[in-house]
């Protein structure tokens, strides 16, 4: 007989199954909630988008900075290359433009704009205004170069956020040139080759032309001091400048009341520097200046008598002098009443023929002529100055009655015959102070266009532009109240040891 299941048990079985299923679902939910594997995945997904965006932005920034740096380096290089040509001569701008053209073609740099400037604003933050611009090559001291902008496509799609997918880089640079000369005599000479009515550029061109022309360099220049001059400054006038750096020597040996100008002109390498961009003038004692220059001719007077060891003479000091008893050469005097004209006893390097006046059966120097014509009598000079000695019959080529040789060339040539003497006993080498240094008779001076200077000339003028730094050969000392005379040897070159070209970036 089969067992009988209670009716109540059959009723419970469906409910028990539901309970078990609910329990399993709850356990599953608890297990899911307890499982942390992969929970950071949503964060990583969000952060990856941010990281990639920032990385692309940084890459675009690096590309832009590299492009900007390359452009700025190019602008700096172009500006420096052009500025190196701004030497204030009439061809300066032309040469600067050529330098830009050559540099650009080599470096693939495209220039959008070029401006030449005569000056810069006082502060770098101030804008460059039309007053600073110039087209005059003799006034162009700075150049502003602007390169063509370059666009760059960004990697980051900035347009999605309302920005631009293209950025632009540009560059601009300002560079300038200045010529600085050091160990330089603090003296200026009015441009001997400037004539009345010339513009500043024309006067500078005349100076540059003379620097490259041997015929012009034979023209004798009368050097006249400006201390007591009331008329307009003209060719050959000279005066004194305030050193840009350094100072006039303070030395007890020499004329004390002159404030050091005599010592500065007597020194071979005075501790002073000047700048092409402009000089300040100062009044000084012409007599002390002449006395300082005369030490180069073995003449020591007016406070320089005890300075022989301080300021030695040149090795060749022929000047047409004779000494009492042919022994006391420290008291030597010009030979003849018409010195520096020819004299039977001694001869100085002659003046140009257009500077000679015939008077009373003799010849005198016409002091109204500032610049000679370059024709002079070398043969007569040689016959007297080299009356006796190995060089008597060996004058240099071109040493004729109408010489085709400069006095400076004769000065150098006759160093080979320094022991030759004149009938009055004058030798080439110094006698008062037997020491000597070659080329002491070469004088360095700032050359100023006095007639066309944009700043009015006076003995205390400030900021006078310099047309160039020149070299002059002193042919005659200042004697008996006479002026000194000189030949122009040319402009200071970049290779000269006293020259220091200064090219630099300003902006």
Where among 151, 180, 209 does a domain terminate?
180
Q: What is the pLDDT of residues 3-23, one digit of tens each?
A: 554 555 455 556 666 676 777
Asked whether the beta carbons of 407 and 349 are under 8 A apart, the reply is: yes
Residues 393 and 253 both lie in one domain: yes
- Classify residue 427 by its DSSP letter: B
Residues in the chain: 507
Closest to 118 in 3D by CA, of 409, 475, 463: 463
Q: Are residues 484 and 362 in the same domain?
A: yes
- Is pLDDT above 70 for 105? no
Domain that holds residue 352: 183-501
Residues 269 and 411 occupy one common structural domain: yes
- Extract the runs of DSSP E, i.e. beta strands, from 71-153: 111-117, 142-147, 150-153
- pTM attached to this predicted model: 0.81
Q: Are 201 and 137 in contact (CB under 8 A)?
A: yes
Q: How do residues 281-310 score in pLDDT, each as one tens digit?
A: 998 888 888 999 999 999 998 888 888 888
Q: Is residue 397 part of a domain?
A: yes
Same domain, 358 and 212: yes
Same domain, 124 and 189: no
In a domain, 117, yes or no: yes
In this structure, the answer to whether residues 300 and 157 fall within a common structural domain is no
Q: Inform me whether the pLDDT recorded for 51 exceeds 80.
A: no
Same domain, 315 and 197: yes
Q: Which of 429, 420, 474, 185 is nearest to 298 (CA)?
A: 429
Both 227 and 325 in one domain: the answer is yes
As a whole number of angstroms, the distance between CA 375 and CA 356 comes to 11
Domain boundary among 150, 180, 210: 180
Reply yes or no on whether the pLDDT at 397 is more than 60.
yes
Higher pLDDT, 351 or 125: 351
Give the separation between CA 245 and CA 275, rounded to whole angstroms. 9
Contacts of 335 (CB under 8 A, 6+ apart): 320, 321, 322, 343, 345, 346, 424, 426
- Looking at 152, 180, 208, the residue that finishes a domain is 180
138 and 198 share one domain: no
Position 32 in a domain: no
**pLDDT of 119-134, one tens digit each?**
888 887 888 888 888 8
4 within a domain of the structure (yes/no):
no
Q: Are residues 111 and 191 in the same domain?
A: no
Number of domains forming the structure of the chain:
2
Distance CA 341, CA 335 (A): 9
Whole-angstrom distance, CA of residue 99 vs CA of residue 96? 5
Q: Which residues of 227-257 are buried (b: 16+ CB within 10 A; e: fewer)?
A: eeeeeebbbbbbbbbebbebebbebebbbee
Residue 405: pLDDT above 90? Answer: yes
pLDDT (average), residues 83-105:
85
Whole-number average pLDDT of the chain:
84
């Amino acid at each position: 007989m089969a067992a009988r299941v209670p009716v109540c048990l059959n009723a419970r079985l469906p409910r028990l199954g539901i309970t078990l299923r609910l329990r399993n679902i709850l356990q599953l939910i608890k297990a899911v909630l307890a499982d942390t594997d992969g929970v950071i995945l949503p964060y990583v997904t969000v952060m990856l988008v941010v990281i990639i965006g920032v990385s692309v932005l940084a890459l675009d920034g690096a590309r832009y900075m590299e492009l900007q740096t390359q452009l700025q380096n190019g602008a700096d290089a172009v500006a420096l290359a052009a500025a190196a040509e701004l030497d204030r001569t009439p061809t300066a701008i032309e040469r600067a433009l050529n330098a830009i053209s050559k540099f650009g073609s080599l470096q693939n740099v495209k220039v959008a704009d070029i401006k030449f400037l005569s000056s810069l604003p006082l502060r770098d933050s101030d804008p460059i205004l039309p007053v600073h611009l110039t087209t005059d090559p003799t006034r162009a001291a700075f150049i502003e170069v602007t390169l063509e902008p370059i666009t760059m496509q960004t990697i980051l799609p900035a347009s999605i956020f309302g920005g631009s997918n293209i950025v632009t880089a540009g560059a601009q640079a300002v560079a300038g040139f200045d010529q600085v000369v050091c160990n330089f005599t603090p003296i200026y000479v009015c441009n001997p080759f400037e004539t009345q009515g010339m513009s500043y550029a024309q006067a500078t061109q005349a100076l540059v032309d003379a620097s490259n022309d041997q015929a012009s360099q034979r023209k004798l220049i009368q050097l006249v001091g400006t201390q007591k001059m009331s008329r307009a400054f003209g060719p050959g006038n000279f005066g004194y400048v305030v050193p840009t750096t350094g100072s006039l020597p303070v030395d007890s040996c020499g004329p004390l009341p002159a404030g050091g100008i005599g010592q500065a002109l007597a020194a071979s390498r005075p501790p002073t520097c000047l700048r092409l961009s402009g000089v300040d003038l100062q009044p000084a004692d012409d007599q002390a200046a002449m006395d300082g220059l005369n030490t180069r001719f073995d003449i020591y007077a007016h406070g320089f008598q005890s300075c022989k060891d301080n300021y030695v003479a040149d090795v060749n000091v022929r000047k047409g002098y004779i000494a009492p008893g042919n022994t006391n050469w420290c008291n030597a005097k010009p030979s003849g009443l018409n010195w520096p004209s020819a004299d039977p006893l001694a001869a100085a390097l002659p003046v140009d023929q257009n500077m000679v006046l015939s008077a009373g059966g003799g010849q005198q120097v016409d002091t109204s002529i500032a610049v000679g014509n370059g024709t002079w009598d070398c043969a007569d000079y040689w016959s007297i100055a080299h009356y006796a000695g190995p060089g008597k019959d060996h004058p240099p080529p071109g040493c004729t009655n109408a010489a085709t040789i400069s006095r400076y060339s004769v000065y150098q040539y006759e160093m080979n015959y320094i022991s030759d003497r004149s009938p009055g006993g004058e030798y080439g080498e110094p006698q008062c102070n037997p020491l000597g240094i070659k080329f002491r008779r070469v004088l360095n001076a700032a050359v100023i266009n006095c007639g066309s200077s944009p700043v009015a000339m006076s003995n205390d003028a400030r900021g006078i532009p310099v047309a160039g730094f020149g070299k002059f050969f002193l042919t005659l000392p200042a004697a008996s109240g006479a002026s000194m005379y000189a030949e122009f040897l040319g402009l200071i070159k970049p290779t000269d040891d006293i020259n220091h070209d200064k090219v630099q970036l300003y902006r």
